[in-house]
């Protein structure tokens, strides 16, 4: 019912926008206007765009994205843009319904996850993490993991998809966009190599996370055994039995650190860590940024560099 009501609200809002906008409201900026849903898309797009386009992020600073639903003013922003970038239909399940009401001749839509090989049948620790087939919507057993940017080869593919969108909308600046995208992909490749080297020789490869299933792609790429407390949805509450099982996993694995995720409440992670007698280290899922990081101009690669520092500490990796 909640989702049905949301779709109705979106449809009404779009109708109002297109029926009532004045010519002044339709007036566009001299620069290409781009709206990206989540932080990785925003950061990649603004890097590619340079000074040739104005890129904004739909998600407000500090908001957890899994529960985000666009409001009428968000739809107005998208309708006035020249390009809209979203991650995939699993991360933004509202996108397809919203876009049905948009003028697709005027608005270039970029599905940044096009061509990615998704982790499927993931719903927390009790399910196989890499089985072919799509068996359900987000929040249920057998779901698709939407956090594709945490495999840096996927991030590079996302850059390619975003680049193609810029070139289609603004072919006159194609060479400029290609140059910026190539530089970004080079930095992602270097980041990937630092992860490969930095996580190659660790005392443990067991990666225990006291939050929702976020880091599956990262773990798969670097050969880590990943276990999360709960499933894909950050709103899911683990059972008492799952909490007890996680404590047993921590104790039996011999790890000294449990990982928590930035921007989410550490309550459950702190409870688990105290019960199991281990410390807590933070990792950033990079869905979004807090206000302080936004003001400091923190980038995706900055976040991933700090993640590598904490992963090496938590997994007791040898110094390089």
pLDDT(100) > 90 = no
pLDDT(124) > 60 = no
pLDDT(11) > 70 = no
CA 277 to chain centroid, in Å, comes to 31
Q: What is the pLDDT of residue 127?
A: 38
pLDDT(136) > 50 = no
Distance CA 308, CA 86 (A): 26
| All domains of the chain in start order, with CATH | 2-117+148-193 (3.40.50.1980), 203-314 (3.40.50.1980)
Beta carbons of 209 and 258 less than 8 angstroms apart: yes
Summarised one tens digit per residue, pLDDT across range 185-243 is: 999 999 999 999 999 999 999 999 999 999 999 999 999 999 999 888 766 778 899 99
| DSSP alpha helix (H) spans, the chain | 2-20, 23-26, 39-49, 72-80, 95-99, 152-169, 174-198, 216-221, 240-253, 267-276, 291-296, 300-314
Facing residues of 287 across strands? none
Distance CA 35, CA 42 (A): 8
pLDDT(128) > 50 = no
The chain-wide mean pLDDT, for the chain, equals: 86
Summarised one tens digit per residue, pLDDT across range 271-299 is: 999 999 999 999 999 999 998 998 899 99
Summarised one tens digit per residue, pLDDT across range 16-70 is: 455 345 334 434 458 999 999 999 999 999 999 999 999 999 999 988 888 788 9
CA 143 to chain centroid, in Å, comes to 16
Q: How confident is the model at residue 2 (pLDDT cuts 50, 70, 90)?
A: low
Percentage of residues of the chain with pLDDT beyond 70: 83
Structure tokens at 114: 């096009």
Q: What is the pLDDT of residue 147?
A: 96
Beta carbons of 9 and 69 less than 8 angstroms apart: no
Summarised one tens digit per residue, pLDDT across range 158-171 is: 999 999 999 999 99
Closest CA relative to residue 18, chosen from 109, 103, 104: 103
| Measured torsion, CA atoms of residues 312, 314, 315, 316, in degrees rounded to the nearest 10 | 70
pLDDT(306) > 80 = yes
pLDDT(8) > 80 = no
pLDDT(137) > 50 = no
- Rounded to whole angstroms, the maximal C-alpha distance in the chain is 66
Q: Which residue has the higher pLDDT, 102 or 172?
A: 172
Q: What is the pLDDT of residue 97?
A: 87
Q: Per DSSP, which regions of 77-147 are E strands?
A: 83-86, 108-111
Task: Return the ∠ at Cα 128 (arms to 122 and 134), rounded to 5°.
Answer: 50
Distance CA 229, CA 225 (A): 14
Tokens 């970038």 correspond to 85
Q: In the chain, how many H helices and how many E strands?
A: 12, 8
Average pLDDT over residues 131-151: 60
Q: How confident is the model at residue 123 (pLDDT cuts 50, 70, 90)?
A: low
Q: What is the pLDDT of residue 320?
A: 62
Task: Return the ∠ at Cα 184 (arms to 306 and 77), rounded to 5°.
Answer: 90
Structure tokens at 141: 């057993």
Structure tokens at 97: 């319904």
């Amino acid at each position: 019912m909640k989702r049905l009501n949301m779709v109705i609200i979106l449809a009404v809002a779009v109708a109002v926008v297109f029926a009532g906008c004045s010519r002044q409201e339709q007036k566009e900026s001299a620069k290409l206007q781009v709206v990206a849903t989540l932080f990785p898309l925003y950061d990649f797009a603004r890097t590619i765009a340079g000074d040739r386009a104005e890129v904004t992020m739909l998600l407000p600073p500090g908001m957890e994205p899994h529960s985000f639903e666009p409001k009428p003013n968000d739809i107005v922003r998208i309708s006035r843009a020249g390009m809209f970038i979203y991650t995939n239909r699993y991360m933004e399940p509202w996108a397809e319904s919203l876009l049905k009401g948009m003028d697709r001749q005027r608005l270039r839509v970029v599905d940044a996850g096009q061509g990615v090989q998704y982790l499927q049948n993931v719903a927390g620790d009790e399910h196989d993490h890499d089985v072919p087939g799509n068996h359900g919507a987000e929040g249920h057993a057998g779901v698709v993991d939407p956090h594709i940017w945490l495999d840096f080869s996927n991030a590079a593919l996302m850059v390619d998809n975003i680049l193609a969108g810029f070139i289609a909308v603004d072919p006159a600046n194609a060479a400029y966009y290609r140059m910026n995208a190539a530089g970004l992909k080079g930095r992602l490749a270097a980041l990937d190599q630092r992860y490969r080297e930095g996580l190659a020789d660790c005392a443990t490869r067991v990666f225990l996370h006291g939050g929702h299933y976020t880091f599956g792609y990262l773990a798969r790429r670097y050969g880590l055994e990943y276990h999360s407390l709960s499933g894909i949805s950050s709103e899911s509450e683990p059972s008492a039995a799952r909490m007890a099982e996680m404590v047993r996993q921590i104790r039996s694995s011999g790890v000294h650190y449990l990982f928590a995720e930035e921007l989410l409440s550490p309550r459950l992670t702190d409870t688990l860590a105290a019960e199991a007698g281990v410390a807590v280290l933070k990792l950033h899922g990079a869905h979004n940024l807090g206000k302080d990081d936004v003001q400091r101009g923190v980038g995706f690669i900055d976040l991933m560099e700090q993640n590598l520092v904490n992963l090496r500490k938590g997994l007791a990796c040898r110094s390089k």
